[in-house]
Every structure is written in structure tokens, then in C-alpha cells.
Amino acid sequence: MAKGVYIHIPFCHQICNYCDFNKVFFKNQPVDEYIECLGKEMKMTVAKNPQAFERIETIFFGGGTPTALSPEQLERLLILVKEAIPMDAVKEFSSEANPDELTREKIKVLHRHGVNRLSIGVQSFDQELLRKLGRTHDNDHVYKTIQAAKEEGFTNISIDLMYGLPGQTMEQWQHTLKMALELQLPHFSAYSLIVEPKTIFYNLMNKGKLPLPGEDNEADMYNYLMDTMEKSGLEQYEISNFGKAGHESLHNLIYWDNEEYAGFGAGASGYLDGVRYSNHGPLKKYMEAIDQGELPILNRTQVDWKAQVEEELFLGLRKSAGINKTHFSNKFGKPVEAVFGDKIIKLVQDGLLVEENDQLKLSKNGRFVGNEVFQEFLLD
């Protein structure tokens, strides 16, 4: 049974230099037709398996840039969502947003139709770094957008930040965190730059034209981030996420808890009835399938027991609370030690994992090398 719904809006007015998500330039795209196709996909999916959608708790608009849509397009999308998805149990309805695109009119539309959480892509408070990232907003956009959102009734607002950026110094990172915390928001996400293939940054890196801070400097930035957030009373509940109690991202927790969710839109992924699936990415292929009365699914993978236990570890260990041993045993029919015993012992001895009461979790040192720890839980 799905707990969450992800809806992908692949349109952007500006493509960021680091982004590898499925996206296209907004201009001259069939945006209105795409929105109608989203409505049809949602209705078809729910009709095929209504039981899976009886207790949807979260909905998330991601992209691309959902706020690239006009107020009228946003309103139409929100109407279609409410027509297709049972809303009775929804606790959190989130939308990603760009600071220079989230006008007060769009804020009003989102709030009026039940969106109660905003995730705003700020990334940095340094204008030169924003330019390198390909971002088009400035700090004034951030302040005005957040103030307008608060005035229109939003209390659950998060901003995204990035570190390990080309040419970024520790002083610039410290300044960004200072500016961010002065906003007195209940949630922050902070990610290190990962240079992905098929991005402008990837091409620059291959040409030797992307001066990154280096692993040691990036580790120092992450350590400063953790210490600063803790001193500010924000709990690190996941490797890259910090929030006040009661303001954790419920939608992202569905992923980290290895629960099921539906994904709608071009290039979206989902996990339903033990099957992970992904949709066609190109708009034409996605929309052609919908117009033919078919679901636009490109591939399906049945998640077997081996893959399930692997995912339970490397998703669950992203959370500061880690995984609960009793829950693991009840879910998979055997103790976690019976599956990963030797690996757990080694990682605990290396100081990367901690066993505390009934929890297994990353140590602080383990957070710096999380991906390396996760790889240890891939079964032969």
C-alpha cells in the first residue's frame, strides 16, 4: 500500500549546471497537455489498484520546477490531483519552488488547494556561487518569497543549501549558513555537490575546468554544518536534513523507511506492490502512452527478498535513528545479525556504526563516509 505520491513537473525556465533530473526548457513545450496527461495517469493508476491508495499521507511536487507553471496551470494541476488521489489521510502536501518564480499569486493558489509545505531551492547566499550554479535568483528574492509565504499562512518552510561547490571557501559556506539560520525556518536540507553525468559541470570537470574544494575541505564543511545546526537547536534526523521536532519531511521519510509510494509524470519512479518502476522520460513518449490509454511505464523490477533487505539497510541508515532491529526481524523473518552479522561487527569495530538499545545507526564518523558504509550491505 502506498503511503506517498510523487508528481514530476519536468519544466524549467533555466537549467542549472549541476542538475541531472528529467527536465526540459519551459518555452514551446506542451505544458497544458502534459498536465492533462498527469491527471489521466493518476486516475488510471488509482483505478487499477484503488486499495493501494486508501491511506495516502504525503504528496510531493518535484521537478524540474513546479513553480515554473503559471498560477492557472498550477490550479489546474491541483484540481486534477484532488480528483484522482484520496486526500482524507494526507498530512503533508509539499511543493518544490524557486525563489524568483514563486509569486504571491502562486503562493495563494498552492495554499488554497491544500499545499502546506514549501521546499525552496536557495543553494547559496553568495551571488557569485549562484551564478556558477546557473541559478537566476538573488538574496532579495529569497527574503521576499519567504516573507510572502509566511504572510499567506505557510508555517512549514524548508530551504535547500549546497556545499562543496566550485571555488567555494569555508568562509562562504559559513556565511551562507549564517544567512540561512537568520531566516528562523523549521527545516533545512544541505547537500554536497555530486557531479553527475550529462550535466554542464560534468563536461567542465572532464576538461579540468571545475575547481572543486577537495574531499578534506568538503568534510570540514559538513562537520561545520552538523555542529552549527546542533547549536541552533535543529536535529539532524537524516544525513543531509535538519529540522525542529514535528517538521521532518514526512515524504522523504517514506523513502528512507523503505515504504511504498506512487510516482507520476515523465521520468518519475515509484514503488508499488513490491515492484519498483520508472516512467518514460521524454515528454513525447510519456504523453503518447497516456493518449493511447496505457500507463507510461518504461520498466518494472520485482524487488526480491535480497534487494529488500539491502535497501532496508542503506536507506534506513541514512536516518540518524538508523534501523530498528525488532522491526527488521518482524519484516524479514530473521534478525539483522543473521543476514549481515560479520559486516555489522566490522563496521562497529571500525567506529562507523553504533549499536544502541534496539537501534543500529551510523556514528558521526560514519556519516562522513555513508556511501562506503552502505556498500558494505550489498549481499553477494
- Give the DSSP letter string of 77-122: HHHHHHHHS--TT--EEEEEE-TTT--HHHHHHHHHTT--EEEEEE
**What pLDDT score does 25 carry?**
85
**Residues 131, 323: Cα–Cα separation, whole Å:** 40
The x, y and z cell numbers of residue 82, run together, are 484532488
Residue pLDDT tens, the chain, 380 long: 999 999 999 999 998 988 988 889 889 999 999 999 999 999 999 999 999 999 999 999 999 999 999 999 999 999 999 999 999 999 999 999 999 999 999 999 999 999 999 999 999 999 999 999 999 999 999 999 999 999 999 999 999 999 999 999 999 999 999 999 999 999 999 999 999 998 999 999 999 999 999 999 999 999 999 999 999 999 999 999 999 999 999 999 999 999 999 999 999 999 999 999 999 999 999 999 999 999 999 999 999 999 999 999 999 999 999 999 999 999 999 999 999 999 999 999 999 999 999 999 999 999 999 999 999 999 87
Bridging pattern class, strands 269-272 and 275-279: antiparallel
Amino acid at 105: E
Distances (CA, A) of 167 to 55, 125, 209, 229: 46, 14, 11, 23
**Residues 157, 182: Cα–Cα separation, whole Å:** 14
Kindly give the residue spans of alpha helices, DSSP state H, lying in the chain. 31-48, 71-84, 104-112, 127-133, 139-151, 170-181, 200-206, 215-231, 250-256, 283-291, 305-316, 325-332, 336-349, 364-368, 370-375
C-alpha of 102 from chain center: 19
Question: Please, what are the domains in the chain?
Answer: 2-255 (3.80.30.20), 322-375 (no CATH)
**What pLDDT score does 334 carry?**
95
